[in-house]
Structure 1
Amino acid sequence: MSRFNDRVFGLVMLAVAVAYYYGATQFPVPFGGSEAVGPETFPKILGVVLAICSLYMIVKPDADNAWPAGRTFVELGIAIVALIVYALLLEPLGFIISTTLAIGTLCWRMGATPLKAYLTGLISGIVVFVLFTYGLELPLPLGLLELN
């Protein structure tokens, strides 16, 4: 029965991947014309990765996937709340601060000490900010760190 469930879940996620990719193609063309890397690039990549993972789940489902214990559901709930709060705080706090808080919280819940977890979040936030803003020329919000 678990193989059937995996295949159904894989089909549902494949439909989500196709819809997500299609949604990314509907972004308006940026002012000044089409660019090699634009706002639709990252969502398209995510859609392709989700489609590949979904196809793998359909073709090769796991034979013995046991349901996790109750504590795992609590940890998953904390992760979902952390990601929702991250999305809500991205603009007002800025990318670096909100990423530090989100990644730090997730790392801490996975067993890292708070200092190492939030230091990992800070380093990750800075590295990704620099890569997107200066490497890909896709500016991310600075929020509270913005100099007026």
Structure 2
Amino acid sequence: MVFNDRIFGILMIVLAVAYGWGATQFPEPFGGSEAVGPETFPLLLAVVLGLSSLYMVVRPDPDNAWPWSRTGIELIVAVVVLVLYAMLLQPLGFIISTALAVGTLCWRMGSRPVKAYITGAVSGVVVYLVFSFALDLALPLGILSFLEVG
């Protein structure tokens, strides 16, 4: 099953490169000379993903088998949710898309639906406030753009 890890590692390297390239396509913030811009965190994630994926290719787990049971299906659902999250981030905005993604993932992990989506909503609002006010980084508001201050 060494082959499975290598295939997955190569796919994740491709994802890391695409994700890193996408991060460099963010528009330059006003002023343009900030050391930490909107691309910093995604680039850091791309580097970590690339390095860990490279490790999987070079040193695969010899006993690895694909989880084609319920776990495999849940992994596919999680990937679909994250892809939809990325696609809906701009039109729906950070708060709503994060609430939906986190809520769905919590629900799929066994939480009751109402509690899961409340957790998602609280997570979306808290992370938005941290990025907007503590880190002074803009996140898309999407359909909630009427909430923008100044």
TM-score (norm 1): 0.78
Gaps of 5+ in 2: none
CA shift digits 1:59-108 (9 cap, x unpaired) = 43212122213434433343233233323433333221221111101110
Moved over 2 A (4+): 7-31, 69-94, 141-148
Q: 1:114 to 1:12 in 2, by over 3 A?
A: closer
Q: CA deviation at 1:48?
A: 1.3
Using the alignment, how far apart are the partners of 1:73 and 1:125 within structure 2? 27
1:62 equivalent in structure 2: 61
Gaps of 5+ in 1: none
Count of aligned pairs between the two proteins: 147
C-alpha RMSD of matched pairs (Å): 2.7
Report if aligned partners of 2:19, 2:46 keep a CA contact under 8 Å in 1: yes
Does 1:89 find its partner at 2:66? no
Alignment of 1:93-104 (within 5 A): 93-104=92-103
Report if aligned partners of 1:37, 1:136 keep a CA contact under 8 Å in 2: no
Residues 119-128 or 23-32, more deviating? 23-32
Q: CA deviation at 1:44?
A: 0.9
Using the alignment, how far apart are the partners of 2:71 and 2:60 within structure 1? 21
For residue 33 of structure 1, give the secondary structure of its aligned residue in structure 2: coil
Using the alignment, how far apart are the partners of 1:79 and 1:97 within structure 2? 17
Residues 3-12 or 125-134, more deviating? 3-12
Q: 1:49 to 1:87 in 2, by over 3 A?
A: same
Does 1:37 find its partner at 2:36? yes
Does 1:141 find its partner at 2:146? no
Using the alignment, how far apart are the partners of 2:114 and 2:63 within structure 1? 37
Using the alignment, how far apart are the partners of 2:45 and 2:16 within structure 1? 8
Alignment of 1:1-148 (within 5 A): 2-18=1-17, 20-22=19-21, 24-25=23-24, 27=26, 29-145=28-144, 146-147=146-147
| Aligned AA (1:82) | V
| Aligned AA (1:66) | A
